[in-house]
Structure 1
Amino acid sequence: MQFDLVVVGAGAAGLFCAGLAGQRGLRVLVIDHAEKVAEKIRISGGGRCNFTNRDAGPANFISNNPAFCRSALARYSSQDFIALVQKHGIAFHEKHKGQLFCDDSAEQIIRMLLDECEAGGVQRWQPCTVADVRRMETATDAEPAFELDTSRGRVLTARLVIATGGLSIPKIGASDWGLRLAQRFGHAIVEPRPALVPLTFDAQQWAPFSALSGLSLPVVVSTGKGKEKGRFLEDLLFTHRGLSGPAILQISSFWQEGQALQIDLAPEQNLQEQLMGAKSDSKRQLGNVLAALFPQRLAQAWIERLGLNSQRSMPECKDKDLQNLAQQLQAWQLTPNGSEGWRKAEVMRGGVDTRELSSQTMESKRVPGLFFIGEVMDVTGWLGGYNFQWAWASAAACANSLPMNLSNQ
């Protein structure tokens, strides 16, 4: 069979690109090895899909080539996708810091993408695997450029889009197929690693804190230096093995092995001033003063960790002990020994090196007619709908760059 465009990957980016291209009059086929489409959409946002962020911009993305995402994000913004959601009558709400969720279910976004594909006459083969891809050197715009051997037969296509996603959450079908194909066609790969993922610590190091599992509080967390520095004010969650919550998921994308985290457990406060003030005008016990400022379990854990007496009255506490306590709580430094890995990671950092792709079209500079969109590329968004916005923007940049009615030229 022959198509104008074959998209490998039926996730957010792949389906959106296919629908847009089909509505431009192209004959489009989507291939995916999984039985169900868009599983990552289905499980995202607690089943309600954080489908974009109102404030998405280049500053919310990480890449070895940071300027790459600018063009696509400018030409297909979050407002453009919001307009599409509204066109399909999907009710949504803003939850936190510009994060938009469906009122009902993530299934609505999947149905919308499938409806867009149907409007463009897109064919879908699922489950279907691709055993091999060959470049046809004699190709022209109106003739096949690629030959694919699939489990449903041989396919010819003028253009090929790789939208196979990253390596996160293997239980829903994550695969390195797109990365391996990119390498085979001569593309460099920025080393993939788990991102937006909980961080873990050595069991002995974490022993004093494991009892705090389930406790959550707002913090400022930072790591790295210069352009690689990350800093976020978000909620932190203690777990049995380490730290999670939005603050840690965010900082995990910046954290490098061996680096320490700096955590302020009392953001936007002067804890030393508060403790010294309590010493001068209160006879309350240290434990009670600290428990008024922090969750009680956390307050007690820090008092015990520093060898202080929670029942000592504030006037009896030494200045240096109170100063050290404040310093420890507002400049806590600790070094993770790793993360929870691909199983718990929400996205992949790294991927196909974007310096070998066109920022206008997502087309390979090495192989004409070959495109990469979505998470398979070295563009990683913050937590909060940014990665979906990159899926929509990169898919639109690709689809809108294709000639209309290619088969009729």
Structure 2
Amino acid sequence: MSSAAPRFDRGHTDDLMTFLAASPSPYHAVANTAERLEKAGFRKVEETDAWDGTAGGKYLVRGGAIIAWYVPEGAAPHTPFRIVGAHTDSPNLRVKPQPDFGREGWRQVAVEIYGGPLLNSWLDRDLGLAGRLTLRDGSHHLVNVDRPVLRVPQLAIHLDRGVNDGMKLERQRHMQPIWGLGEVHEGDLVSFVADEAGVDAEDVAGWDLMVHAVEAPAYLGRDGELLAGPRMDNLISVHACVAALAAVSTLPDLPYIPVLAAFDHEENGSEADTGAHGPLLGNVLERSVYARGGGYEDKARALAGSICLSSDVGHAVHPNYSERHDPTHHPRPNGGPILKVNVNQRYATDGSGRAVFAAACEKAGVPWQSFVSNNDMPCGTTIGPITAARHGISTVDIGVACLSMHSARELCGSDDPYHLANALVAFLEG
């Protein structure tokens, strides 16, 4: 790499494993991101405070979302932004407002399906609980019960002889986990979680709790060339974005203002105050311009010159289902980050975006690949088209190729996380 920014290697993937294990909920992912930024010299700002235009790194937190930016010395009000975007949430099972119930002497936890998980991947798996508790005084407390306390048991084959010919799971009836035996008492689960968090259950006014697999991330394969772990969609990208932003914040004379935007609720459409459809990013960019003495004209100029890389995982070619992929686009693990293209704007990439991404990868010395869906397969989407449409910012969709997307445990190449981080550094450098 031509700059003084560090070049990431396998140690980045080792660190990703630590980040994945420590981030069982969007709130934990944001807290861990904030901690890393503070170690890199960033300081937290509050949305309710007046902002100044001084140089340096800043970040703000809203629930499961975090926005961070670095203002170089001498940045003008109309200086454009270079944005790396991602999301903190993953498909899973989330605890309902009245969680305590049971059948046939089993104590169970009522859960709601969040996003579009591969339901069968949650069966017969040791599960923990994590999220945040909101107390009556309005404060939030993170909680992580990172040991086996729940399980969604599958029906034995003896009682469903045709299960291997096709299994249909009813979301309401079949996905409710067990967590013990005996009588059900209202408030049991919240009391348990409050005790784990070290707070009084009577002080708990609300909660945002979710289930997570407690099995640790691990290298896989004869030579450790693969990485298996939870919540890769999309904490691989969040982790890489944080590392890249911290790296470029050490560089002088940046021509752009580098920005990290990690949103919540992408998996259910981004329609939230912490989602990409909300005003959070736009407010931050606007206030950053105004804090440096700019006005509307400066904001318009800054956004017109800005570019966003929307980083989210994509599909590696599946060896057992290769016919489901486009015949000329087969992204492979450790082949470098993928450029995601869809002419119907499910991804925001166009030819100009391809040039920007290719230049960043070339500068970083990393390989890259293209992904496009089979015409007979509906295409997913990302925060990319939302960012482009809402803010008028040129946006490119990229990511890491993986298998088992939306499973409780996903799989990617062990080199690709640091390939992505290196490409993001080169992009943020301009």
Q: TM-score, normalised by structure 1?
A: 0.26
Larger radius of gyration: 1
Q: TM-score, normalised by structure 2?
A: 0.25
Between structures 1 and 2, the one with greater helix share? 1
